[in-house]
Structure 1
């Protein structure tokens, strides 16, 4: 999997304080938002898939607020082994529960495995063997229910890139125990945030039935409405006599994260009568592509030649039928298994959508950068 959630903040941008994540109805996620609330309120668990910047974490956090839940946020990319996974859980608990109560729990129940530090942090003891680590893991999962009962609030664990733990949890022992324990605890739920590439890792989860919500790109009409509403708060608008709005929409292709980044940059410029021109939109788009150029160059260095070639073809000439004879001949693609292997590889990396979404690039600014690079 490739993580390309990159955003460069300029000196001017730091002064901009736009709240771009509110008004969920305006960014076309109201149905998904309501469903997440229902699932969390019913002690359900959830898998949310989408590209970086699709609003997964924002939806869960606001939905958790609606049901009065405490959110523990864990990035499983940082969990390089079982010990680190436990440490990330302890950090999340320390940030969300009263220090004195954590200290009491350690002294009464868990002093064999944990220590409560002077800076009000729950820490795992060093030099624990594998059996002790496992015991620490189990009682820490039990602590989640105790924490929920004490606070009289739900606990929701947001786990980003959860399949990453399978790189060391070879027999799925930690994963299965985690899921079973959370399922058994009333008032404790988990939400897995996955990229479209990681979705494939969940297809065999028959033992853990879980509802999936996929955040697809937003329609141009919805994104245009959102952009107008946000800019209106800054007394700005796209010049109606120009192609400014269309250039903006074509650049972001329904990706709310990219749209937010461009809106922030647009809000730092000076305008005549508050009108945003197409030249100014093009200016901020070019600035974003320049800032991301090194990231994209590094990405291409990691891809096989067949995947680079196909990625470039789909960027310049989008199609929902890359396996067609005409498309193969037009772009000099390899037939058969080589082409299918490149398609599968790019999907698994989260760089293109599957057939249902038309095999288009999942990262609009990468597509735009590739087109410019090849022109």
Structure 2
């Protein structure tokens, strides 16, 4: 299991009388209660977070739940869509527009007398184009003040969730936007930011002295916890795994502790119309096969976006899992490239959240993708 790295504090953590962690945690967060409690504590104290895990591990669900516990307004920006600095600013402006009254935004634009932003009839804060590089930077610094102003006006905390935040490095080559962003938000007493990334990003935030950033890692759920969760979910639909069959074991083998893939399978199983309410091994197998068929085009598109060496390595790890893909025997067996090419492929797949690192034995992080590859290549 991956380790959960949490900075120890020397002072006691104040507990809000309005936060009831154990009773208010929704069913989807079963197995993440420790991480959920820590998120609530950090956000309640104006802290900032880096949450790492693979897609579908519950990162955003945990943060949204934690923000709700502390009564915060949530702003979300998908950094994959931020293809440059101007696009990043526009996405942030849109997130603010969705969570603040139009008249307040209009007043802010008027009061700042900004040449960079405009307020349009559809009640949206817009970045005026075109802007020079200098103007874009000035607009960036100006806009970063707005979440604090918004929080004070609403008398609520603001939590800014930045999904796939490391993606901005594709255009922020010198890290200037990233450093300035962290410095600005850290100075705001009513705003927290949460960076959501893959596990490979865990060690990439070295400036802890100036801008402390607590890191939470989300490992796969254990089989026991996932089994309990699945039973509870299915119980609401008056369904249960047939105890006389291997249905539950087949479900757990397919999900491999991945909450996203487990949810997709549960949704399939909930459509069962069996009169006795018992889910058989055949029902689970049919659900898996149907889901793989529906996901086939998505997975084909994913492979088309990957470099050839990453596709080859992904296929090898799906068909022949190993904890030592760098070993001489494994390289020779599958015709892999030696040295930097192999390590580059491993690193690339980890940064994309497609495989785990050495802690999880380099296994595929998306179990249904692994099953699809096995089916496709067999």
Computed over aligned residues only, the root mean square deviation of the Cα atoms, in angstroms, reads 2.1
Q: Whole-Å Cα distance in 1 between the matches of residues 341 and 332 of structure 2? A: 14
**Structure 1 residue 347: Cα displacement:** 2.3
Residue 262 and residue 119 in structure 1: after superposition, are their counterparts in 2 closer, same or farther (change >3 A)?
A: same
Indicate yes or no: 2:39 matched with 1:31.
no
Relative to structure 1, the CA distance from residue 313 to residue 191 in structure 2 (aligned partners, 3 Å threshold; closer, same or farther) is same
Corresponding residue number in structure 1 for 2:298: 295
Question: Pairwise mapping of residues 86-165 of structure 1 onto structure 2 (< 5 A)?
Answer: 86-165=89-168
Of residues 364-373 and 51-60 in structure 1, the stretch that sits farther from structure 2 once superposed is 364-373
TM-aligned CA distance change 1:80 to 1:240, over 3 Å: same
1:31 is paired with a residue of what secondary structure? helix
1:80-109: per-residue Cα shift (whole Å, max 9, x none)? Answer: 111111111111111111111111111111
2:260 aligns to what? 257
* Structure 1 length-normalised TM: 0.88
- Asked whether the 8 Å contact 2:186–2:211 carries over to 1, the reply is no
The separation in 1 between residues aligned to 2:66 and 2:282, in whole angstroms, is: 38
Q: Distance in 1 between matches of 2:77 and 2:314?
A: 32
What are the superposed Cα offsets for residues 132-191 of structure 1, whole Å, 9 maximum, x if unpaired? 222222221112111111111111100011111122222222221111110011011100
Residue aligned with 1:315, SS: helix
Q: How does 1:304-315 map to 2 (within 5 A)?
A: 304-315=307-318
Asked whether the 8 Å contact 1:24–1:30 carries over to 2, the reply is no
> Which 5+ residue runs of structure 2 have no aligned equivalent?
1-24
Q: Map of 1:174-189 to 2, 5 A cutoff? A: 174-189=177-192
Deviation larger for 61-70 or 123-132: 123-132
The separation in 1 between residues aligned to 2:336 and 2:107, in whole angstroms, is 65
- Where 1:269 maps in the other structure, the secondary structure is coil
Distance 2:351 2:144 in 1: 31
- Identify the match of residue 46 of structure 2 among 40, 43, 48: 43
Q: 1:271 to 1:44 in 2, by over 3 A?
A: same
How far, CA to CA, are the matches of 2:84 and 2:341 in structure 1?
35
Which residue is 1:213 aligned to? Answer: 216
1:22 to 14, 23, 26: 26
CA distance in 1, matches of 2:87, 2:348: 29
TM norm structure 2:
0.87
Counterparts in 2 of 1:261-272, with a 5 A limit? 261-272=264-275
Say which SS state the counterpart of residue 145 (structure 2) adopts: helix
Separation in 1 of the partners of 2:274 and 2:28?
A: 28
**8 A Cα contact 1:37 1:66, kept in partner:** yes
Contact 2:49 2:214 survives alignment (8 Å): yes
Q: How does 1:167-246 map to 2 (within 5 A)?
A: 167-199=170-202, 202-206=204-208, 208-246=211-249
Measured in 2, the distance between the counterparts of 1:133 and 1:333 equals 45
Cα contact 1:196–1:350 (8 A) shared by 2 = yes
Q: Which residue of 1 aligns with 2:17?
A: none
Residues 303 and 81 (structure 1 numbering): CA distance in 2 closer, same or farther, change over 3 Å?
A: closer
CA deviation profile, 1:262-298 (whole Å, cap 9, x unmatched): 1111112311211111111111111111122223233
